[in-house]
Every structure is written in structure tokens, then in C-alpha cells.
Chains A and B, each alone.
Chain A
Amino acid sequence: MRSQTRWMSLVSACGAVLLLGGATSAPAQDTHVGTLTGHAAAGKPLYTRYCAGCHGDDGDAQGENAQWIDPKPRDFTMGTFKCRSTPSGSLPTDEDLYNSVGRGFVTTNMPPWIALTPQNRVDLVAYVKTFSPRWRTAKPATPITIPREPAPTIQSILNGRELFRRMECWKCHGPAGHGDGPSAPELTDNKDNPIRPYDFHSGSRFMCGTSNQDLYRIFMTGLDGSPMPSFADQLQPTEAWDLVHFLRTLQPVKTPEATIWRAWFATHGSELKPIGP
């Protein structure tokens, strides 16, 4: 009888351990990107080595370099992220964070961490997810749907230009997309730090990618934590593609949209009404 009681106690204890083990072996912070699984424990030393200098040991953006950096490093304790495939207000997916680490952020001090292996990056993402309680209470929403892109035409570019005016993108990004709109000097992020709107003439990379799909995603999801809002409730997919096609004409790179635009502008430019107040 006594041995039976001990045996049952042992089974109970094992059950408890298994339950606890189950809870800790797959915590909410584990990341899954493709076939890779990232673990926070493996990410911690990498974070200390490569990230804490700016983002701080506690992920609160108080690293020793932070005071010299503009824009300020992301505060991971807030659980708010700019580059997401998910709607405004949602956490990003693991893949969103993984891509951010590998891509870096143009116009900021965050470099592309391509020197780190894919496994390093998923481990890092897992550790970054330990800093905010949001990861334990919420899940990323379903990523937005991006329908197939129609071919750019002069009409889609002109429609996009009209949307740029009507959605008042120019108030921050400027009438010609130089990031010099009337609201630009006073923009602040969610921690009241000054922040500049994107200058489309500054290069080929956007904050969250380089492709037309990336551009579509940026203004449809918004860059949470920054002044850039989501336009998902305001633009139909065809309108969103029109806006993408117009924005591409502002960049100092040779794009199909810019080629169409320049050919049209050479003969019709004088017909355009200026954008602005």
C-alpha cells in the first residue's frame, strides 16, 4: 500500500513536471520562421553582444549609445513595432521581426544584421519578445492581404498622385515627397521624440523594404509608434496600388513607373495642378 502511494506520488510529480516542462519548452516567446525555431535563451547572449548597446539590457531603449542616436532605438518593452504585415494595433509576426533584423532600417542607425546566421536571428527575435508582456497576452493578427499588382500605367500614376493629394500625404511628406510638408517640423513619435517623415528622394529603400509590395504594406498597416498612420480603412486595393505607382515616380532610381511618368510629364507636365495648400 505504502509503495503504491509512493508510486502514485511519483506519477503525479512527473505529471506536474511534464506540464511545467510543456509550458516552458514552448513559451510564447519562441519564434517560428519557415523551418527555423528560435529560443530566447539562445538569443540572450547574442542580444547582449549586438543589440544591448542601443536597445538596452532591459530592452527599454536605454543602451549606452541611445543618447547619441536619432531616431531613438526601439523600446521593446512597449511591444509596438513599425514594420509589420499585420494591421495597426497588432503585434508583428515572427517573420516581420526576423525580416527587420536582417534588413535594418534605412535612415536610422539600425544596420542590416546579415552577418548573423538565420538561426541567430530567430533566436534574437525570441529574446526580443521577452521584454513586453504583450507577447504573453496577445497574438499577432492575421497579416493583411496584398492582391496581385496591376501593371503601372499613366492613369494609375495620376490616380495615385490625386490620392497623395486627397489623403493629404503631402502634409508630412511634402508636395514633392521631400519629407518637408507643413507638419514635418513638429512630428513626434509615441515617446514624444522628434521624428522626420520619409524623403522619397533619399534613395531606393523604404523603412520596411524595397519592393512595391513592401510599399503597399507600409501605408496600409501604418508604422505603429510613429506618426505614419494606417490607410487600410481608407483605400481600396486598386487605389493602394495606384498610390504605390505614384510614389515610385518620386524616387531617384529608374523604375517602370518613373519611365512612364517622365515620358508623360515631358508633354503634359504643364497640365498638372500643383499639390499643396
Chain B
Amino acid sequence: MIARLTPLIALVALEASVAASPRTPPAGTISGKVTYTGTLPRVRPIDMSKEPNCVTQHATPVTTQDAVTGPGNSVRYVVVYISAGDQGAPPATDTVRYDQKGCLYIPHVATMQVHQPLAIFNNDPHSHNIHPLARINAEWNKSQPKGAPPIRTSWDQPEFIAVKCNVHPWMHGYFAVLATPHYAVTDSSGAFSLTGLAPGTYTVTAWHERFGSQSQEVAIGGSETKTANFVLTARPY
């Protein structure tokens, strides 16, 4: 009896397996590395002596973050994103977190989609003022004293928005507000990876706050990984 039932059980199991894992659409990846050529601006130590609370939070002196580079001329904090060819995606609902700690913005560049919730925290034992210098979106400027709840907001239009704290003028960061869900920020090796791309032709753009932006077209045919490297031109101050 058991022997006669075995093929049937096997068949049912196979069908269940097929039903549980429907064929996933092909999803490609574009990965690569961002490097620079040219003359780098000078990386300077930040003088936080006007805010002793922040000096004590850093074991070693902090340096400016607007041109962070590494071995092999790699560039950190480059936003790489799909600027054309995107095939749409549901709006992002998870909250992007942006911290002020030790008189620095963490992360230095925060990426988010249009209308995506953004929460700005003050983790320092003193006040900051958050001043996003928006040009396309509305510019605003709000105080956030010690212990104040996070400032919750979002942005209506795609834009790279410089953020500064007027009280601590060395504090400098960016909100990268994008119309696409496909984006990445290069790590300390200059590497990035854009995943989950449906077959199609895409314009991939790399943007850096000092070295400008550069684009290239990449065609994705299926579940494949294509390489797109960028060489940005560094300019001294």
C-alpha cells in the first residue's frame, strides 16, 4: 500500500514545491567602482573646539568628508542611481534615519526616494539647527535642542540637497532625493551595486558633491550582472 502511494505523495510534493516557488522574473545587477582622476582638494582636519562636547566624542581628529578617497583612487560617498529607464516601483515607506552625532551627519550622504519618510535625530548633548539648502524643494531651517524628538519630514521633488548646521559650520552633509528605488552610495572602496533590475536599457548616473556627475547607458538582458565603472574628475578647491 505504502509502495503504491509513494509516487502519488511524490507528485503532490512536487506540485506543492512548484506552487511555493513561482518563477521569479529575471533581475539583473549593475555593479562597479567609482574612481577619480585629477587633483584632489586638500582634506582638512575639522576644528570642533567651539563645541567641546563634540571634541570629546572623537578619539582622533575628524577630517572633512566632501572628498573621501581610498586606495586605487576610489571615491566614497558617490550616489549611483538609475536616472532613466526605470520601470517604476511602489513608493518607499520605510523611514530613512539621519543622525547628528559628535557634530557630524551620519551618514554623510543620506539617500531616499521622493515622499519617503525621513527622521532626523539629534544625539548630541547640545542644540543643532538643521538647515537643508533646498533649491527645488522648499528650504527650511529648524532648531533641534538636546533631547528634542526627531524631526519627521519628506521631500516632494528629486534633488541633491546640501544640509548644514549654522551653529557648527563644519557640519555638512547631503540628502540625495531620488525618483528611483535603484540607488547606492559607494563604500570606502568606491564600490556600488544596483540590484533587482528588470530587463531593459538604463542610464546609470554617478553623482558626487564636489566632482560632479557622469552617466552611461547599460542594457540588462536578464538575470545577469553588468559592470559600469566611473572615473570622475577631481578638482581642488
Enumerate chain A interface residues (CB-CB to B < 8 A): 78, 80, 88-90, 134, 138, 166-168, 171-172, 182-183, 186-188, 190, 222-234, 277
Nearest A residue (CB) for B129: A229
> Is B43's beta carbon under 8 Å from chain A?
no
**A118, B133: Cα distance in complex, Å:** 33
| Contact, CB under 8 Å: B145 / A171 | no
9 new A-B contacts, CB < 8 A, other than A78-B135, A190-B139, A230-B142, are A80-B139, A88-B140, A88-B141, A89-B139, A167-B127, A171-B167, A172-B166, A183-B167, A229-B141
Q: Interface of B with A (CB < 8 Å)?
A: 50, 52, 126-127, 129-131, 133, 135, 138-145, 148, 151, 166-169
Taking a contact as CB atoms closer than 8 A, the residue among B141, B142, B145 that contacts A166 in the complex is B145
| Contacts A/B (CB < 8 Å), 5 sampled | A168-B127, A187-B166, A229-B129, A229-B130, A230-B143
CB distance from B172 to the nearest CB of A (A): 11
Task: For A191, give the chain B residue with the smallest CB separation.
Answer: B133
Of A89, A168, A187, A231, which is within 8 A of B140 by CB? A89
Query: B residues within 8 A CB of A223?
Result: 141
Q: Cα distance A138–B136 when bound, in Å?
A: 12
Interface pair B168/A230, CB less than 8 Å apart: no
Q: Which residues of chain A are within 8 angstroms of B127 by Cβ–Cβ distance?
A: 167-168, 171
A277 vs B167: C-alpha distance when bound (angstroms)? 14
- A229-B131 in contact (CB<8A): yes
Query: Which residue in chain B gives the minimum CB-CB distance to A228?
Result: B141
What separation, in Å, do the CA atoms of A232 and B144 have in the docked complex? 10
Is there contact, CB below 8 Å, between B145 and A234? yes
Pair count A-B, CB < 8 A: 76
Is A233 a contact partner of B148 (Cβ separation < 8 A)? yes
- Within the assembled complex, what's the spacing in Å between the Cα atoms of A248 and B50? 28
Residues of A within 8 A of B144 (CB): 234
List residues of chain B with CB within 8 A of the CB of A229.
129-131, 141-143, 166
Q: Report A-chain residues with C-beta under 8 Å of the C-beta of B130.
A: 229
Per the bound structure, the CA–CA distance linking A186 and B168 in Å amounts to: 9
Q: Max chain A CB contacts within 10 Å: which of B142, B144, B148? A: B142
CB neighbours (8 Å) of A190 from chain B are 131, 133, 139
Per the bound structure, the CA–CA distance linking A138 and B143 in Å amounts to 24
* A46, B168: Cα distance in complex, Å: 41
Q: Given A172-B166, A188-B166, A227–B142 Cβ distance below 8 Å?
A: no
Closest 9 CB pairs of A and B: A89-B140, A227-B166, A229-B129, A168-B127, A229-B143, A89-B138, A88-B140, A229-B141, A186-B169
